[in-house]
Structure 1
Amino acid sequence: MDVAVFVRSMNAGGAQRAMLRLATGFVQAGHNVEVVTLHTGGSFHTELSPDCTVIALRPKRIIAAVPALVRYLRRRRPDALLVTEPACNISVILAKILSGTSARVLIRESMFPSTAVKEDPHRSTRIAYRLAPILYRYADVIVSIASDMTSDLARWARINPSRITTIPVNPVVTPTLQAAAKEAPDHHWFEDTDIPVVLGVGRLHRQKDFPTLLRAFERVRATRPCRLLIIGDGPMRGELDDARAASPYADDIDLAGFSPRPFPYMANCDVFVLSSRYEGQPNVLIEALASGAPVVATDCPSGPRDILDGGRYGRLCPVGDVIAMAEAISATLDAPVDRSLSKARGSDYTLEKSVALYLEALSPDVAVL
């Protein structure tokens, strides 16, 4: 097939990273792939196969990309076009309708619409979800990444659940990840193996709830030597800097900024913590498992409970519960899950498995409205 993959950008974000990995996987499976984006470059560009062609549309805003997408579809006429993110989904659906082309459009939903329409800070996301009941039905294939998300999307977009394909396997574990996990982490704390390191990775945003992780760490630190390393950047950077400065354990807390390759930190930390209030399917938790990290995660909607198999592969704690999170961190430091078990669970989310499921979803046998 001639496959197009549309992403807003190739910068930090689990959705963008997943789509670029799928693009690489489609090439490896023998298909011709073009990655269509607003702008070239970005921190995830290096993960894209050199056999993928990159086409930049160059509008500054996603809604302004619709005319450029119409021209692209009429000129290139791909067999299939994959897209994720609500605003991008809406733009691609509009472009297909206006272009009159026959490309099979697959939209990938990675958030709970009923939550994101209230919680997501981006106005474009909230507007897109208001339009979903009108436009999502015109997609040829609709994919959600969790069964409970499928139910939420069906209710929100007023779509029959049978029209939605659930693919709970994100393209997370790649040879690049596995090789990077064997590298030495670039932080001096890992040179001192006597003091355990608690690790958090993600965008510094309200959704990820790093303030709860910081307070939980303080409770753990009050009882034993340990350190907290947070990898990521975002709008809550200033607030978290202030919280760190006010902490009695400020010297044991480091906000190290964004890294496109956090896997060496995951492989060498003593416990990885996902503190999110809500997720779609948290790739970072799968990455931590695949890197061999003992993990703790909030039992948030959705993903952690399924990924950890109800607690078999790591401890779960309630969302926003500082005491329960501190207890889970301490228990994991005392009795961590075997790292080989973590890696085995991570191997359930390989690029090859995910690509096979998306290609199956793109089959012409999939029902179209």
Structure 2
Amino acid sequence: MKILFLVSSLNTGGAERVATTLASAWARRGDDVTLVSTFPRRGTCFYPLDAGVKLVWIADRLNGAGHPLRVTAAKLRILRKMMVDEAPDVVISFLTNVNVMALLAHRGLKVPIIVCERTNPAAASNSGAVLRVLRRLTYPRADVVTVQTESSVEPFRRMVPGIRRLEVVSNPLPPELLERPLRPMVSVGRKRLTAMGRLVPAKQFDLLIEAFSLLAPQHPDWDLVIWGDGPMRDALVRQVAGLGLDDRISLPGRSDAPWDELSKADAFALTSAVEGFPNVLLEAMALGLPCIAFDCPSGPAEMTRQGEDALLVPVGDTAALCKGLERLMREPALRADLARRGAESVRKRYALPQVLERWDDIMKQAE
């Protein structure tokens, strides 16, 4: 099969990791895959990419278009020309802005096109009014639209009426992660609660810091490490200093080896107000970490089988978060049980072969 795969940038991020994982897997099995970064500036591919994938930076073809409207017009021409010249069997697009552009460029062509939302579209606020209108106008032209969780389906149907076919496909676990051993059930010395993500309001790391500060005196052998960077760094650093916990709570920045850092932890916390499909929670569970998560829209409930494989607490409820964290810190048997069950569950349900099989079904539906 010949696949033309469109994504915005290829920097760090969940969509980028999934795009490179899928493109590499398809190329390894013999598909002809062209992966196109539509971002107007050239970059680098942060995640590993199979040598069989043809990588195209649309920035190399813009010829200094300059004004944003000219850049957009040039992108549309380039994408349409690629859809014609490459003659793919299917076009796949990730992220709302890229999806809209792909559908505009695709107008009148017969090649099947699948567009994929990479957040929970009913809860996310990162799409402006114009983009939401364009999504409503263009998505009914797609052969298939995908979301990442069952809980997103009905809200999205109401948001964007007229979609021909709306399907759910989850993110796969990277195969390289599944080659790693599970972290040891028993650790020696100080214990570490870890969180990871962009330091932005939606991640609610301030609530995690507050909850940990309430438990820190009763659990002097535990520390909190929050990996990531972003606009809230200064505010979070001030919060930690104000609590007098600089020696117990650290914010070391972004890690180039996130799985290594997760494997050093004794527990993982996800405190987001909203997610699309939190890869970091999935990866923490797959590595054998006992996890606690806010039951935010969307992802954690389905990922943890409604709290069977991790502790699930109401969104924004600091008291419930404290109670759950206290259980994790106090009960090594609970940590071991959640770690075992969580790893077994997600490694089975989100392994790459299962997700690729689902993608094959969706591509057949688009024909």
Deviation at 1:154, TM superposition (A): 0.7
Q: How does 1:46-57 map to 2 (within 5 A)?
A: 47-57=48-58
Deviation at 1:221, TM superposition (A): 0.8
Which of 209, 212, 217 is 1:217 aligned to?
Answer: 212
Query: Which runs of 5 or more structure 2 residues have no equivalent in the other structure?
Result: none
Conservation of the 8 A alpha-carbon contact between 1:182 and 1:264: no
Residues 1:72 and 2:82 are matched in the alignment = yes
Q: Deviations over 1:235-268 (max 9, x none)?
A: 2222222222222212111111112431122223
Find the counterpart in structure 1 of residue 24 from structure 2. 24
Residues 1:9 and 2:5 are matched in the alignment = no
Residues 1:232 and 2:228 are matched in the alignment = yes
Residues 1:325 and 2:327 are matched in the alignment = no
Amino acid in the other structure paired with 2:109:
T
2: CA distance, partners of 1:259 / 1:102? 43
1: CA distance, partners of 2:78 / 2:234? 37
Residues 1:144 and 2:143 are matched in the alignment = no
Find the counterpart in structure 1 of residue 272 from structure 2. 276
Deviation at 1:71, TM superposition (A): 2.2
Query: Which runs of 5 or more structure 1 residues have no equivalent in the other structure?
Result: 185-191
TM-score, structure 1 as length reference: 0.88
CA separation of 1:130 and 1:31: change in aligned 2, threshold 3 A: same
1: CA distance, partners of 2:253 / 2:22? 27
Q: Deviations over 1:144-192 (max 9, x none)?
A: 11112111111001135x720122x211x223223456799xxxxxxx9
Deviation at 1:28, TM superposition (A): 2.4
Conservation of the 8 A alpha-carbon contact between 2:93 and 2:115: yes
Find the counterpart in structure 2 of residue 109 from structure 1. 117
TM-score, structure 2 as length reference: 0.88
Moved more, 149-158 or 334-343: 334-343
Find the counterpart in structure 2 of residue 285 from structure 1. 281
Find the counterpart in structure 1 of residue 252 from structure 2. 256
Q: Deviations over 1:96-124 (max 9, x none)?
A: 11xx43321111113233322xx32x64x
Find the counterpart in structure 1 of residue 106 from structure 2. 96
1: CA distance, partners of 2:180 / 2:243? 33
2: CA distance, partners of 1:127 / 1:112? 18
2: CA distance, partners of 1:42 / 1:277? 30
**Count of matched residue pairs:** 348
1: CA distance, partners of 2:96 / 2:366? 22
2: CA distance, partners of 1:360 / 1:247? 52
Moved more, 146-155 or 237-246: 237-246
Conservation of the 8 A alpha-carbon contact between 1:12 and 1:260: no
Q: Describe the SS at the equivalent of 1:19.
A: helix
Conservation of the 8 A alpha-carbon contact between 1:12 and 1:44: yes
Q: Describe the SS at the equivalent of 1:279.
A: coil
Q: Describe the SS at the equivalent of 1:243.
A: helix
Moved more, 6-15 or 55-64: 55-64
Amino acid in the other structure paired with 2:33:
V
Q: Describe the SS at the equivalent of 1:128.
A: helix
1: CA distance, partners of 2:156 / 2:131? 13
Find the counterpart in structure 2 of residue 135 from structure 1. 138
Give RMSD over aligned pairs.
2.2
Q: How does 1:111-126 map to 2 (within 5 A)?
A: 111-116=119-124, 119-120=125-126, 123=128, 126=129
1: CA distance, partners of 2:355 / 2:327? 33
Conservation of the 8 A alpha-carbon contact between 2:120 and 2:147: no
Residues 1:83 and 2:93 are matched in the alignment = yes
Conservation of the 8 A alpha-carbon contact between 1:79 and 1:102: no
1: CA distance, partners of 2:341 / 2:57? 42
